[in-house]
A and B are shown apart, each in its own frame.
Chain A
Amino acid sequence: MATTTATVSITSADLMPGMPLAINASSQLMQTGTTTGLELMDMGAGKLTEASAADALHEALGTADTANWVYICNTSTNDEQYIKVGIHDTIIGNLGAGEWLWMPWNMGTADNEINIEAETSGSVTYEYAIFKSTYTLPAKT
């Protein structure tokens, strides 16, 4: 059984004056509703340009309503370049330069792909990793 662990630390000394913020959490990624670790993953890197509309980063080709996890990082160093991230027609939010997200993804419907879109000019680089409970490769064309 594979073991995948995701840990976060959030700190700020001055967001709340007089109350330093320190949040720490760690979780082990399990297959849907079990104590068996996830065994499927994809990872990679790419470039987006403003000229293209939202592109599917990953199709929802696994079993619906399962436990899956998504990491996306906007690796641009240009503060004006950000990436809009969505699940099909639901916009999650904007990832600025150097920012990352970590979110569950239950592939609620076959249409619920993860999509990304560059919102500024030039090439915007990104990295991603997706951890999945189940997955079916797309059919050959």
Chain B
Amino acid sequence: MATTNATISISSDIMSYPVNISKQMTMKKLGSSAGLEETSGLRTKKFTATDAIVVIEEDEFTNTKASKVYMRNTGSSKSDFFYVAKHASAAASDTAAVTIGKLYGGDWMLIPYLADVNITVAPSTAEAMTLEYIVFVE
């Protein structure tokens, strides 16, 4: 059994008192103490157009389990971003119900993934942007 740990630390001075969140998790199979044992491997993709593209195909992975997806916009621009969406084909846009959110330069996310629908991304600009991502698979 493999052991994969992820630790998040969030610090903020939004409140009048310091906010500090720190949590470590071990990525486990659904309803189990067994660790995830497979991965897509770390992938990097460079985009030079605003077309939406499927970056994670659900049929590569087992549906209704407890996979995880990590993504990061490796750029530094705080005005250019990737839309991230769950959609059967390549679609991600501003007001689409299936759009999760936006990753600006340096932003990252780590979410559970049901592998029921593809994950697509759409750059906001045709300027070169790079996305790195990995799926931790049950």
Contact = CB atoms under 8 A, between A and B. Distances in A.
Interface of A: 2-16, 21, 23, 25-28, 30, 33-35, 38-41, 43, 64-65, 67-69, 71, 73, 79-80, 82, 85, 87-106, 108-109, 111-112, 120, 129, 131
Given A103-B100, A104-B103, A79 B4 contact: no
Contacts, number: 205
Interface residues of B, number: 68
B10 A4 contact: yes
B31 A102 contact: no
A93 B101 contact: no
A27 B3 CA distance: 25
Interface in B83-116: 83-84, 86, 93-104, 106-114, 116
A31 B137 CA distance: 33
Given A2-B12, A8-B8, A27 B106 contact: yes
A100 B23 CA distance: 8
Contacts of A7: 8-10
Nearest to A23: B70
Which 8 A-B pairs have CB atoms at the shortest separation, nearest pair first?
A104-B101, A93-B112, A4-B12, A12-B4, A65-B94, A25-B108, A106-B101, A2-B14
Chain B interface main SS type: strand
A79 B70 contact: no
Interface of B: 2-15, 19, 21, 23, 25-33, 36-37, 39, 41-42, 65-68, 70, 72, 78-79, 81, 83-84, 86, 93-104, 106-114, 116-117, 134, 136
8 contacts: A2-B12, A4-B14, A30-B104, A41-B12, A93-B114, A94-B112, A101-B112, A106-B100
Nearest to A68: B101
Nearest to B110: A102
Given A2-B14, A105-B101, A120-B31, A15 B108 contact: no
B78 to A, nearest CB: 5
Contacts of B31: 79-80, 82, 96, 120
A8 B9 CA distance: 6
Contacts of A73: 23, 25
B52 to A, nearest CB: 14
A79 B29 CA distance: 9
Contacts of A21: 4, 39, 42
Contact of B111 (A43, A64, A88, A93): A93
A27 B117 CA distance: 27
